[in-house]
A and B are shown apart, each in its own frame.
Chain A
Amino acid sequence: MECNGCEFHSELYYDSEYQIWLRREHDDSLTVGMTDISQTIAGKILHVRVRRPGTIREPGKPVATIESGKWAGPIPNFIHCVILEGNIEVLENPVLLNSDPYNAWIARVEASAGVDAALEAFLTGDEAHEGYCRRARDEDIHCQRKVR
């Protein structure tokens, strides 16, 4: 499913600005990644660093930092969680976030208050699709998943 060429996965959970996606895993951990919109805005990603496993992160305290040629900043975090692991494949080859943003996850975290409570504030399904398309359309974002 796409909007302005921006890939969208209806089974995932999204923040209200569609910066990150979350996926519930079988062990009730959460996987965190960047959306196609975010990787497009960032440009070619050159460096990723994740908080060390075991670190407690409060809402507003980033899970990871990203550097591209024209942008540096956080992978935002909206939940109280503990870092479980970073994706070593992405840490060693960050441009995977550009080429395959929904497979190239960044980190896995454990939500302190449980996964159901954590996901309550996120959007999914048709509602997320509508908002995702609205952002792409309103900001005239046309996604590219090739390495620039």
Chain B
Amino acid sequence: MNAELIREQFPILHQEINGHPLVYLDSAATSQKPRAVLDALKHYYEWENSNVHRGVHTLGSRATDAYEGAREKVARFISAARTQEIIFTRGTTTSLNMVASAYGPAVLQEGDEIVITPMEHHSNLIPWQQLAIRTGATLKYIPLQPDGNIALEDAEKTITDRTKIVSIAHVSNVLGVVNPVKELAEIAHRHGAIMVIDGAQSTPHMKVNVQELDCDFYAFSGHKMCAPTGIGVLYGKKHLLESMEPIEFGGEMIDDVGLYESTWKELPWKFEGGTPIIAGAIGLGAAIDFLQEIGMDAIHQHETKLAKYATARLSEIEGLTLYGPREREVGLLTFNLQDIHPHDVATVLDASGVAIRAGHHCCQPLMRWLEASATARASLYLYNTEQDIDRLAEALVQTKEYFG
């Protein structure tokens, strides 16, 4: 994989920020979009724009074909057994909320347990917190090892026969750890619980096979994997989705409406009320084509190599604390620089054209665990190069000098 050639396909990367060529290191927040995706959106609006599943005219058929074609691409991308198991949503947050609202209350009773970890993004924490409050269930946390990893022995102790739902991030957006979700799913199933995976930080960076993981639900967002914002996916096993009632009513999800009773369409449309995010889904389809042409394994290898290089470069900087495990295969580097507040670090870096994230990364409980009020984070993607890491390291050294 040649990152230089890939960079060429991202128009946004070829600009100057504050007089310096842009180094974009905030892809965990949102990725940049390649020309292929931008062109697909333009083509849709110029040649196909129409509502789906309604029009009997030509544009209606083109839009429907493109939208449903994107669903098939998603199903193949994550190796789902059936296209019906792919629900288009607004993103990971909506997908996880949908599981919590449509599945949770039907199965949980007072005293039952929901198991998560302290490293969860707020999107995979608050919906369960709310569900626990509403149903009287207990929210339990698998503790973290000192380096941020999960030990399976701890999972074995936390997950019990009272556990009904286990929901865990595939990859932490702060620590960069890849969690043993397959093994966790096995433990959950042994106790009769379902396994939900937050795939926001994994799907863009590595091959995901939902059947091999044997998870019950898998949630991810398009915008972190080269697609537009506002489109995401909820994968769910067919029998579970069929057992669930929709949570949004009206528009596309309707089958037959009477004055006092109505029926819903079959899967997956049952969960897609209103006019769906048609252009977003088509953009996601184009992003999947783009990523698969390069190859998910090649992307993952490139990022693993880059993450190693970045870990080494940042470790050379005196006074820099790098959080999470030393060995990392994904390009997420969270750190603090001496006692300089991460916002100040981010502002000084921005002055040299280097874009990173500063703050709590929507992981307040994890920040408390790290004993940091906030952290800085550099996150990599397929278009980053060693040169970007060098620019980051140089800018960090300058920041130290500036705040001396």
Tell me, yes or no, whether A binds B: no
Instruction: Tell me the A residues contacting B by CB distance below 8 Å.
Output: none
Q: B: which residues have CB within 8 A of A?
A: none
